[in-house]
Structure 1
Amino acid sequence: MMSGFSRSYAVGLLAGATLLTTAACGSGSAETAAGGKPEVVAAFYPLQWLTEQVGGSDAHVTVLTAPGVEPHDLELSIQQVTEIQKAALTVYIKGVQPAVDDAVDAEKSFDAATAVTTLPASGHEEGEEEHGHEVSYDPHLWLDPTRLATVATKLGERLAAADPAHAQAYKDRAAKTAGALGTLDQEFAKGLSTCRTKSLVTAHEAFGYLADRYKLKQVGITLDPETEPSPARISEVAKLAKAEGVTTIFTESLVSPKVAEVLANQVGAKTAVLDPLESRPSGDYLSAMRDNLKTLQTALGCTA
């Protein structure tokens, strides 16, 4: 992966190329290139889903991270930097994708983390780096439906400001989306209210917001998917898992399950996939979250 300096330098060169290209091609309205609809760029899947729900038929939404690609590893092409430069709005979360952080225009971007109360970055002291950029919070906020509902409301306001002709439609869709997320939250709260164990042993610490919202205890084998756990860390987690009667070690679709499988063998547990929704699932955000709920209920011994 590029260093912070080389990435910033590359983005600077790409931005310069974009300006020259725009000048050469004329100054037509780049922000409304798709049939008069504002161009809105989403950084990765959960934000794509949310933006499509709120934008509806009034916005043209594109996503920077292709399905099956680990978002944290994204490097932008010249075309993608151009898309960000031309977009009416870019929706992202600072700290997830350093390349996107470097490329966005502060005046034409919406950092979803600014709309909610964030949690401290797991295992880090404030000011240390998370996925390559200095942030003091856990960026995986989309795994709490109530926080994502708040983001939906704020996104509706930002789209309304960018496209006043359809302002009320954006706000109405944002309210509808927030309502659907509220229903999902109620399902999780009820479904996880009577679990035998509250310990959530995960491949990496992506589920802090879910754990915080539903009174679970997240125990990550690693802080992030790029970090190899030490033997001491695996031993520590194994000891805790045995003590708390953990029966399932959770893996992820985009992360190798090998470490989780080693731990599961030590503990005498099985593995199951818990989707952090960093990439497009087979269904959509709501259905994938409901699948996560079923997986959690089985693994944690919930009776509701």
Structure 2
Amino acid sequence: MPRRHASAAAAVALLTLASVAACGDGNNAAADDGKLTVVTAFYPLQFLSERIGGDAVAVSNLTKPGTEPHDVELNPRQVGEVANAKLVVHLHGFQPAVDAAVEQEAKDRAFDAATVVEMLPMSADKHAGEEDGAHAGEEEAHGGTDPHVWLDPVRYATIADRLAERLGQADPAHAADFTARAAALHTELDQLNAEYAKALTTCQRRELVTSHTAFNYLASRYQLTQVGITGITGEDEPSPQRLARVAAEAREHGATTIYFETLVSPKVAETIAREVGAQTAVLDPLEGLTGTGSDYFSVMRANLAALTTGLGCST
């Protein structure tokens, strides 16, 4: 994927510039107010860091709100933030530019969420990659695993626990506070998981037709079957053969809703919906927060409402 490779190359090129701006030695790891500086790669990791770190940390996010995070490019100032952070929280394989900056500037001060939970394989629907080689290229870029782990509240809770431990190593004076906040967050995530499990137990349909193959973890956790129109990044143009297959699948299972996400054009989902006589609805993969006043929990609960309606689940 050209844009993905360009992102990684751009990050490497910026590292030299950033070394001048940021000194690149990590010595300025404490914020001016004494807080622990934490740089996060994208929203779900920012949310965890802020909830667990509380007022002991100063958190910044490398992906601006409303921005598609897969192909984020870092400017010299951002690479400088990575170089000077006490801790960089990322998910290896999701954002090549961030991976490049971490590898060169903060390898010993990084928390990789992908290393603390079991990651699922990239292709989670039966048609992925059948028509062309696009998905094989994505698997290579992501190391063969699906990065959208935060959409499973159970795995997300485990990441929270491990992040609290890592923050405690970076700031032992606040380790107990980090642990307590993570425990409270874990309890909230357990409740969210229970809500999903109860609401999705009895549904008329279990085929989840989405514009973006991002819901592998959610589908796996709650015994749904994901049928994705486009690939893991949501940027690929599906072939006519794939559109035909997805439409046939939707008809076979009586799908009444085709889901699209907030950061990608709904046109492909609308095409399938027209073809099969279905409606469209938003299912947010939470890669970048877009709604003012919303957070991880409010978006996940909005997703659950959209699922129960679209799949015909009894309440």
TM-score w.r.t. length of structure 2: 0.90
Quick one: distance in 2 between partners of 1:28 and 1:247? Answer: 53
Alignment partner of 1:102: what SS? helix
Determine the C-alpha separation between the residues in 2 that align with 1:143 and 1:246: 22
**Distance in 2 separating the partners of 1:49 and 1:110:** 15
Write out the 4+ residue segments of structure 1 that deviate beyond 6 Å after TM superposition. none
Q: Give the Å deviation of 1:7.
A: 5.0
Taking structure 1 as reference, are residues 23 and 281 closer, same or farther at Cα in structure 2, changes over 3 Å only? closer
Which residue in 2 is equivalent to 1:36? Answer: 34
Q: Deviations over 1:91-134 (max 9, x none)?
A: 11112111001111221111111111111011469x95438734
Please state if 1:74 is matched with 2:72. Answer: yes
Equivalent pair of 2:22/2:83 in contact (CA under 8 Å):
no
- Closer, same or farther: CA 3–197 of 1 in aligned 2, 3 Å: closer
Corresponding position of 2:234: 225
Aligned to 2:198: 190
Give the corresponding residue for 1:234.
243
Shift of 1:253: 1.0
2:296 pairs with one of 280, 285, 302: 285
Instruction: Report the secondary structure of 1:71's partner residue.
Output: coil
1:112 is aligned to 113
- How far off is 1:28 after superposition? 9.2
Q: Percent same amino acid among aligned pairs? A: 49
| Shift in Å, 1:72 | 1.0
253 and 131 in structure 1: CA distance in 2 versus 1, 3 angstrom threshold: farther
User: Could you tell me how far apart the structure 2 residues matched to 1:293 and 1:68 are?
Assistant: 21
Give 1:79 shift: 0.3
1:8 positional shift:
5.1
Give the partner amino acid of 1:110.
F
**Residue aligned with 2:211, SS:** strand
> Where does residue 157 of structure 1 map in the other structure?
165
Q: Who is 2:18 aligned against?
A: 18
1:175-207: CA deviations, max 9, x gaps?
111111111000000011110000000001000
Q: Is the 8 A contact 1:253 1:275 kept in 2?
A: yes
Match of 1:246 among 245, 248, 255: 255
Alpha-carbon distance between aligned partners in 2 of 1:222 and 1:63, rounded to the nearest angstrom: 27
Residues 179, 246 of structure 1: CA spacing in aligned structure 2 closer, same or farther, 3 A cutoff? same
CA separation of 1:8 and 1:265: change in aligned 2, threshold 3 A: closer
Deviation readout 1:3-40 (Å, 9 max, x if unpaired): 64x6555434433333334559xx89411024111110
SS at match of 1:139: coil
C-alpha spacing 1:271/1:11, structure 2 compared with 1 (3 Å): closer
Is the contact between residue 210 and residue 226 of structure 2 (CA under 8 Å) also seen in structure 1? yes
CA contact (8 A) 1:72 1:131 kept: no
The answer (yes or no) to whether the contact 1:95–1:130 under 8 Å persists in 2 is no
Aligned length: 300
Partner of 1:176: 184
Q: In 2 relative to 1, CA 133–69 (structure 1 residues): closer, same or farther, beyond 3 Å?
A: same
Q: Please state how far the C-alpha of 1:295 moved relative to its aligned partner.
A: 0.5
Contact 1:15 1:85 in 2 (8 A): no
Distance in 1 of aligned mates of 2:303 and 2:241: 29
Report the secondary structure of 1:195's partner residue: coil
Q: Match for 1:289: what amino acid? A: M
Q: 1:143–1:210: 8 Å Cα contact kept in structure 2?
A: yes
Match of 1:276 among 285, 290, 298: 285
Q: CA 1:266/1:215 → structure 2, altered by over 3 Å: closer, same or farther?
A: same
Give TM-score, length-normalised by structure 1: 0.93
CA distance in 2, matches of 1:46, 1:111: 13
Q: Which residue of 1 aligns with 2:273?
A: 264
